[in-house]
Structure 1
Amino acid sequence: MIRGLYTSAWSMIANSKKMDVITNNLANVNTAGYKKDTVVFESFPELLTKRINDSKNSSNIGSMELSSDVGEIYTYFTQGQLNQTNNRMDIAISDDNRGEKASPAFFAIGVLDPSDNNNIKEYYTKDGSFVLNSNNQLVTRDGNFVLGQNGPVTLEPGEFAVDDSGNIVQNGVVIDALRITQFSDATQLRKFRDNLIENSGSETSAFTGKVMQGFSEESNVNVIDEMVDMITVMRAYEANQKLLQSQDSLLEKAVNEVGVVR
């Protein structure tokens, strides 16, 4: 009975963690380039159950799982819908990124690292809603540098164009090229902060997609799917809650009534 209390309580904790992930997905449904997360549950190791006889012999009667927990947070790197904005500062990557063996491509972003004398550390993003800072450098809305082949992209005053390969053209001259990084193994990518991604071991491959100026990539969160998952998690949480309350009542009866001499 005590084991049942722990099983129900731990399942409630796991479902609470999944609800946090769903809530975060819904909060970022309008965040450009955001990639949805999902919780992967895993069971605790199975325990071998034995039947103990009156004699010294015992026999196996099967295995038993006590509960489940969050195994990992898996991120779907499938491409979101591309919307035409006609804003020259909006740039999107069309990599036709589908299926489980995805090879997503990202803009390379430079972030100042205070712990390393403000050296620039490279991260990646799908959010191409860029702006210009006071130094006419192309940056994200959080102020991080957009990296080109020559470092942070610095533009001359005036209009600029970006072709399908990511080359930046001003006054008919290619002044730089966006650093587009495509990864072979999306499972090695991890979310950082500010809608950024860090690479924890994936190899890069040649960019096979297309850069589109005047377009913005939406998040790949499906609101209906997230709401259905939210209802499912709530019901699972409530079921475990009721089980815990029932076991607590039975335990109370066992403590207070079993063995009472009347």
Structure 2
Amino acid sequence: MIRGLYTSAWSMLANDRKMDVITNNLANVNTAGYKKDTVVFESFPDLLTKRINDTKNSSNIGSMELSSDVGEIFTYFTQGQLNQTNNMLDLAIDDNGGANTSSPAFFTVGVVDPSDNSNLKEYYTKDGSFVLNSDNQLVTKDGNYVLGQSGPITLEPGQFSIDDMGNIVQDGAVVDTLRITQFSDPAMLRKFGDNMLENTGSETSDFTGSVLQGFSEGSNVNVISEMVDMITVMRAYEANQKVLQSHDSLLEKAVNEVGVVR
């Protein structure tokens, strides 16, 4: 009976965590370049049950399982819809028509290291809705530097163009080339914040996609699918809640009524 309380309560916690992930996906449905997350459940390992305080026999008496838990938060790197904006500061990466999800490519962003203002730490993003700062440098909406092969990209006032390989052309000359980073193992990427990712060990590969100027990649969140998952999680949570209430009622009867001498 006590085991049932733990099983139901832990399942409620796991479903609550999944609901948080679904809510975050829905909140970012209009965030450019956002990649949806999903919860992967895993079973608790079997617990070997032993006899205790039994001097005659200390053998095992069986095993038991205690429901499931959140194993990991998995990110889908499928390509979102490419929307034409005709804004020269909006860029998108076309991963071979969205077919290349096993080794996606990202814009490389430099974030100032708080411990050393002269050092930039590299992060990666699919959000190519860039702007120009007061120094005419290409930056993200949060003010982080968009990196080229020579570091932060500084432009001259006026029009510029970017070809499909990321070469930035201004006044007929190549100013710099976008630093596009393609990863061979996207499972090693972790969300950092501000719609950016950090690499925790994936090797890089040659860029095989193309850069599109005047386009923005939307999120890959499917609203209908997320709403269906939300309803499923709510029903699972309610079912475990009712089981927990039943166990609580049985325990109350066991404590207050069983063994009462009348």
Fold shared per TM-score above 0.5: yes
The TM-score with structure 2 as length reference comes to: 0.94
Please name the residue that 2:147 is paired with: 147
Please name the residue that 2:239 is paired with: 239
Between the aligned partners of 1:90 and 1:117, the Cα distance in structure 2 is 28
Does the alignment pair 1:251 with 2:251? yes
Between the aligned partners of 1:223 and 1:156, the Cα distance in structure 2 is 41
Please name the residue that 1:191 is paired with: 191
After superposition, where does 1:2-81 map in structure 2 within 5 Å? Answer: 2-48=2-48, 63-81=63-81
Q: What letter matches 2:155 in structure 1?
A: L
Please name the residue that 2:128 is paired with: 128
Between the aligned partners of 2:222 and 2:187, the Cα distance in structure 1 is 21
Q: What letter matches 1:2 in structure 2?
A: I
Please name the residue that 1:215 is paired with: 215
Give the secondary-structure state (helix, strand or coil) at the position aligned to 1:69.
Answer: strand
Are the structure 2 counterparts of residues 82 and 258 from structure 1 closer, same or farther at C-alpha, using a change threshold of 3 Å?
same
The answer to whether the Cα contact below 8 Å between 2:94 and 2:210 also exists between their aligned partners in 1 is yes
Deviations 1:167-201 (A, max 9, x none): 00001110100000000000000000100000000
Q: Root-mean-square deviation (CA), in Å? A: 1.9
The aligned length equals 258
What is the Cα deviation at residue 119 of structure 1?
1.5
Between the aligned partners of 1:109 and 1:59, the Cα distance in structure 2 is 56
Please name the residue that 2:113 is paired with: 113
What is the Cα deviation at residue 260 of structure 1?
0.6
Deviations 1:191-221 (A, max 9, x none): 0010000000000000000000000000000
Please name the residue that 1:102 is paired with: 102
Between the aligned partners of 1:239 and 1:188, the Cα distance in structure 2 is 35
What is the Cα deviation at residue 87 of structure 1?
0.7
The answer to whether the Cα contact below 8 Å between 2:146 and 2:153 also exists between their aligned partners in 1 is yes
Give the secondary-structure state (helix, strand or coil) at the position aligned to 1:198.
Answer: strand
Between the aligned partners of 2:47 and 2:209, the Cα distance in structure 1 is 49
What is the Cα deviation at residue 256 of structure 1?
0.5
Does the alignment pair 1:180 with 2:183? no
What is the Cα deviation at residue 129 of structure 1?
0.2
Q: What letter matches 1:155 in structure 2?
A: L
Deviations 1:15-43 (A, max 9, x none): 00100000000000000000000001111
What is the Cα deviation at residue 73 of structure 1?
0.5
Q: What letter matches 1:157 in structure 2?
A: P
What is the Cα deviation at residue 47 of structure 1?
2.8
What is the Cα deviation at residue 65 of structure 1?
1.6
Are the structure 2 counterparts of residues 47 and 88 from structure 1 closer, same or farther at C-alpha, using a change threshold of 3 Å?
same
Between the aligned partners of 2:90 and 2:43, the Cα distance in structure 1 is 44
Between the aligned partners of 1:57 and 1:138, the Cα distance in structure 2 is 70
What is the Cα deviation at residue 46 of structure 1?
1.2
Between the aligned partners of 1:59 and 1:132, the Cα distance in structure 2 is 68
Between the aligned partners of 2:45 and 2:164, the Cα distance in structure 1 is 51
The answer to whether the Cα contact below 8 Å between 2:42 and 2:71 also exists between their aligned partners in 1 is yes
Between the aligned partners of 2:114 and 2:57, the Cα distance in structure 1 is 66
The TM-score with structure 1 as length reference comes to: 0.94
Between the aligned partners of 1:57 and 1:91, the Cα distance in structure 2 is 68
Runs of 5+ in structure 1 lacking a partner? Answer: none
Between the aligned partners of 2:134 and 2:47, the Cα distance in structure 1 is 63
Q: What letter matches 1:4 in structure 2?
A: G
What is the Cα deviation at residue 58 of structure 1?
6.8
What is the Cα deviation at residue 115 of structure 1?
1.9
